[in-house]
Amino acid sequence: MSAPTRVVVTGATSGLGRELAVQLARRGWRVAVTGRRLPELEETARRVTEAGGEALLLAGSVTDDAEVRAHASRIRAAWGGLDWAILNAGVGESMDAKEFSAELVRWTLDVNVVGAARWLEAVLPDMIESGSGVVAGIASLAAFRGLPRSGPYSASKAALVALLEAARVDLRGTGVDVVTVCPGFVKSEMTARNGPDSMPFLMETADGAAAILRGIDARRRVVHFPWPLSYPTKYLLPAIPDFLYDRLAARFGPRRIKRRSGEAGELLKKKP
């Protein structure tokens, strides 16, 4: 019998990350889970074990270089390496450009882009050496145009899409596959803060995670869903003229700033 597949899921203390971890555990896989909130991380690890997987709990932030390196070393020591890495950790706060905060932009990029990059740096050498591996980064449909009141988030996801696309091409022939995932709206702590703004085609967390795993299993280069939202967003929206985009975005985009997490609130207080 072959050894269970080894996977890390970053940002597995809630939402999509926790659900991905549990669904992978049902396959009997070894699932390393990361995140900063220890009680929530312990709960995810408990659910992984309950679902039939083996959990490795790695508490810490994707913004800490040393911590990410230490987590990768712990995985190597425990399991000898990784087969899959799902880079899911992310933050998403609204910002109206009329109240521009460079600090909010810096923080969003540090978590959503550099956080994924830290993990790529930590796991790719072993995958390349072993001649196999899968890296999936959770971007967003918000990557395809600058969404109103979502500048930092859209910018971070656009950067992640480009980073993963370049990596996918660079890694051709190494045996390492790169999958870019662009979900629409999925129920999670992040979207729970969206308030009354409309979230078309909002999906259950379990359905969102299942769609992600189907895409990764199939080694799709770019996984996007749900299709009634993702096809227009990925293929039509980037093609429409800017003047038309401005009108449509103002008409249909989020009208208000969503309720902020405590973390973002603290960052905004730092503004001079």
Ligand X SMILES: NC(=O)c1ccc[n+]([C@@H]2O[C@H](COP(=O)([O-])OP(=O)(O)OC[C@H]3O[C@@H](n4cnc5c(N)ncnc54)[C@H](OP(=O)(O)O)[C@@H]3O)[C@@H](O)[C@H]2O)c1
Asked if residues 103 and 267 have their Cβ atoms less than 8 Å apart, the reply is yes
Select from 6, 7, 9, 15 the one that contacts ligand X (CB under 6 A).
15
Select from 23, 108, 140, 154 the one that contacts ligand X (CB under 6 A).
140
Residues in the chain: 272
Select from 17, 133, 151, 254 the one that contacts ligand X (CB under 6 A).
17
Q: Interaction with ligand X in 53-82: which residues (CB under 6 A)?
A: 61-63
Active site residue 153: yes
**One-character DSSP codes across 83-111:** SEEEE-------B-GGG--HHHHHHHHII
Q: Is position 85 an interface residue for ligand X (rule: CB under 6 A)? A: no
* Amino acid letter, 102: A
Question: What is the pattern of x (binds ligand X, CB under 6 A) and - over residues 104-123?
Answer: -------x------------
Q: Which stretch binds ligand X (CB under 6 A): 28-36, 49-57, 230-238, 241-249?
A: 28-36
Minimum CB separation from ligand X for residue 143, in Å? 9
Q: Which stretch binds ligand X (CB under 6 A): 21-29, 48-56, 94-102, 181-189?
A: 181-189
Minimum CB separation from ligand X for residue 11, in Å? 3
Q: Which stretch binds ligand X (CB under 6 A): 31-39, 73-81, 167-175, 241-249?
A: 31-39
**One-character DSSP codes across 187-234:** -SHHHHTTTTS--TT-B-HHHHHHHHHHHHHTT-SEEEE-HHHHHIII
Q: Is position 88 an interface residue for ligand X (rule: CB under 6 A)? A: yes
Q: Interaction with ligand X in 195-234: which residues (CB under 6 A)?
A: none
Select from 95, 190, 213, 229 the one that contacts ligand X (CB under 6 A).
190
Q: Which residues lie across from 177 on neighbouring strands?
A: 134
CA separation for the pair 174, 170 (Å, rounded): 9
Tokens matching residue 204: 């259950």
Q: How many residues sit close enough to ligand X to count as binding (CB under 6 A)?
A: 31
Distance of CA 207 to the CA centre of its chain: 16
Select from 186, 213, 216, 223 the one that contacts ligand X (CB under 6 A).
186
Q: Is position 152 an interface residue for ligand X (rule: CB under 6 A)? A: no
Count of CB atoms situated within 10 Å of the CB of 245 = 16
Select from 48, 185, 213, 229 the one that contacts ligand X (CB under 6 A).
185
CA separation for the pair 257, 241 (Å, rounded): 26
CA separation for the pair 146, 96 (Å, rounded): 12
User: What three-state secondary structure class fits 11?
Assistant: coil
Active site residues: 153
Residues that bind ligand X (CB under 6 A): 10-17, 34-37, 40, 61-63, 88-92, 111, 138, 140, 183, 185-186, 188-191
